[in-house]
């Protein structure tokens, strides 16, 4: 299988570990799709690194999302919807009688011959990342394939490039850290569901909390898997982040506002945060995180909207904050918030915290499936 070959290549190059491959197999078994897709979904590799690995293993060029989303009409019109649907391919360039197509099966000689015969063009296959290919087909042809919802990228990858993560710990080489910003994904905010659309829960007043040591990643996984509702999941995330931040909170992203779900730390516990509702587009740092749909770490701009927000959250601006979008089925349903209250947050391990957000998104999705099972 190509997926296992790609995983072995990444392992040999030091980008991932055997434990990460095992974890990707577990999520693949639950959600379906290809193994390399789950390595990407879990934040173990970037699209750039995965693309390089696909090229090495498949022996054909890799087509990036930037190329797919900008496919010109001339190329798109070269293939009928029937052929696109039959072979799950997306054309993205046509010049001098040569048609370049994105595919997951570049060695499928039968498909290539049929497309070449139907179009009259020389067909040049390029390898694509699975969720990006389906995203392009839906974007250009309005086709959605049954069973592909669970393999969409849940990390909020935007239309821009992502920074490549560092090589796995213990590898022979290390990649320099990059700080490439992620662009917008083109989805309107009013199309996004809230956490309540995925997890039905009856809120209970939180009791007093005791300081706890930060959990390991394994403990976080177990706690998220055992969570019966949204509040238990929030508690698992707060426990994991307790040695990284003085205050933590979970905010639900709705169609018109961002609302407090639960929190821990000064002024974050009790009804104060739960009653907080911040309109979308009001100019707070929440809007910045939603627009990028990626990791945010930095200072809070001293704008009127942010000052009003922090008046409701304890009365003063923190030195810096961390915001992580929680993505379910390509939609931001929540924001995990961390700050150090009076003290600045240390610089975070960004790939690690992206994994935390990815695991939270998967846990919410599992809760959704559990609730659906109860309704049947």
Round to whole Å and give the CA distance between 72 and 229: 45
Confidence check: pLDDT of 100 > 90: yes
Mean pLDDT to the nearest integer, 184-207: 36
Distances (CA, A) of 304 to 104, 275, 283, 317: 49, 20, 9, 11
Clarify whether residues 367 and 291 are in a common domain: yes
Are 241 and 332 members of one domain?
yes
Measured CA angle at 96 (ends 95, 97), to 5 deg: 90
Model pTM score = 0.48
Q: Are residues 50 and 97 in the same domain?
A: no
pLDDT of residue 305: 84
Per the structure, how many domains does the chain have? Answer: 3
Residues 46 and 72 in one domain: no
Return the half-sphere exposure (C-beta side, CA atoms, 13 A cut-off) of residue 6: 26
- Does 161 reside within a domain? no
pLDDT digits (tens, 9 = 90+) for 17-76: 999 999 889 888 877 889 998 898 888 888 889 999 999 999 999 999 999 999 999 999
- Answer yes or no: is 24 within a domain: yes
Per-residue confidence (pLDDT) for residue 374, from 0 to 100: 73
Q: Cα–Cα distances in Å, from 117 out to 73, 95, 99, 171?
A: 20, 17, 12, 47
pLDDT-derived band of residue 177, with 50, 70 and 90 as boundaries?
very low
Q: Are residues 194 and 342 in the same domain?
A: yes
pLDDT grade for 285, boundaries at 50, 70 and 90: confident
- Within this chain, do residues 108 and 238 fall inside the same structural domain, yes or no? no
Is residue 182 domain-resident?
Answer: no
Q: Report the CATH number at residue 71.
A: 3.30.300.160
Residues 203, 329: one domain?
Answer: yes
Considering 23-32, 241-250, 277-286, 344-353, the range whose residues carry the highest mean pLDDT is 241-250
276 and 326 assigned to the same domain: yes
**Parallel, antiparallel, or unpaired for β 98-103 and 90-95?**
antiparallel
When pLDDT is cut at 50, 70 and 90, the band that residue 150 belongs to is low
pLDDT digits (tens, 9 = 90+) for 315-371: 778 888 999 999 887 788 899 999 998 888 888 888 888 889 889 988 888 887 877
Q: Which domain holds residue 12?
A: 2-59
Same domain, 24 and 79: no
Measure the CA–CA gap between 210 and 241, rounded to whole angstroms: 14
Q: Which of 109-123, 142-156, 217-231 bottoms out in mean pLDDT, i.e. has the lowest?
A: 142-156
Are residues 84 and 98 located together in one domain of the fold? yes
How confident is residue 147, by pLDDT bands cut at 50, 70 and 90?
A: low
Average pLDDT over residues 151-177: 44
Judge whether residue 15 has pLDDT over 60. Answer: yes
Residue 82: the pLDDT is: 93
Q: Is it the case that residue 226 has pLDDT exceeding 90?
A: no
Calculate mean pLDDT across residues 304-319. 82
**Domain check: are 307 and 355 in the same one?**
yes
Beta carbons within 8 Å of 207's beta carbon, 6+ residues apart: none
Residue positions counted in the chain: 376
141, 175, 208: which is the final residue of a domain? Answer: 141
């Amino acid at each position: 299988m190509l997926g296992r070959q790609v995983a072995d290549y990444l392992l040999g190059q030091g980008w991932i570990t055997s434990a990460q491959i095992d974890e990707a197999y577990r999520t693949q078994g639950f959600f379906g799709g290809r193994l390399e897709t789950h390595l990407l979904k879990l934040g173990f590799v970037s699209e750039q690194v995965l693309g390089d690995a696909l090229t090495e293993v498949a022996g054909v060029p890799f087509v990036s999302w930037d190329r797919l989303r900008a496919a010109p009409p001339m190329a798109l019109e070269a293939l009928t919807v029937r052929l696109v649907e039959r072979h799950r391919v997306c054309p993205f360039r046509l010049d001098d009688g040569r048609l370049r197509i994105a595919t997951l099966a570049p060695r499928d000689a039968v498909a290539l011959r049929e497309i070449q015969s139907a179009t009259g063009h020389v067909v040049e296959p390029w390898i694509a990342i699975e969720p990006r290919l389906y995203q392009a087909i839906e974007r250009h042809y309005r086709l959605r394939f049954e069973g592909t919802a669970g393999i969409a990228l849940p990390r909020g990858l935007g239309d821009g490039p992502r920074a490549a993560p560092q090589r796995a710990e213990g590898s022979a080489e290390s990649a320099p850290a990059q700080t490439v910003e992620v662009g917008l994904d083109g989805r309107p905010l009013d199309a996004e569901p809230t956490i309540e659309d995925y997890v039905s829960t009856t809120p209970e007043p939180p009791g007093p909390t005791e300081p706890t040591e930060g959990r390991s990643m394994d403990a976080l996984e177990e706690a998220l898997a055992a969570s019966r509702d949204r509040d238990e999941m929030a508690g698992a995330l707060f426990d994991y982040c307790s040695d990284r931040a003085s205050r933590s909170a979970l905010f639900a992203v709705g169609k018109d506002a961002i609302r407090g779900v639960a929190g821990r730390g000064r002024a974050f516990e009790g009804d104060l945060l739960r009653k907080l509702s911040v309109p979308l587009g009001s100019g707070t740092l929440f809007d910045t995180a939603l627009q990028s749909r990626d990791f945010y770490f930095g200072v809070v701009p001293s704008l009127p909207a942010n000052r009003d927000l922090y008046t409701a959250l304890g009365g003063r601006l923190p030195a810096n904050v961390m915001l992580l979008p929680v993505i379910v089925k390509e939609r931001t349903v929540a924001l995990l918030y961390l700050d150090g209250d009076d003290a600045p947050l240390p610089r975070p391990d960004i790939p690690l915290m992206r994994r935390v957000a990815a695991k939270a998104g998967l846990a919410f999705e599992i809760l959704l499936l559990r609730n659906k099972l109860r309704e049947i």
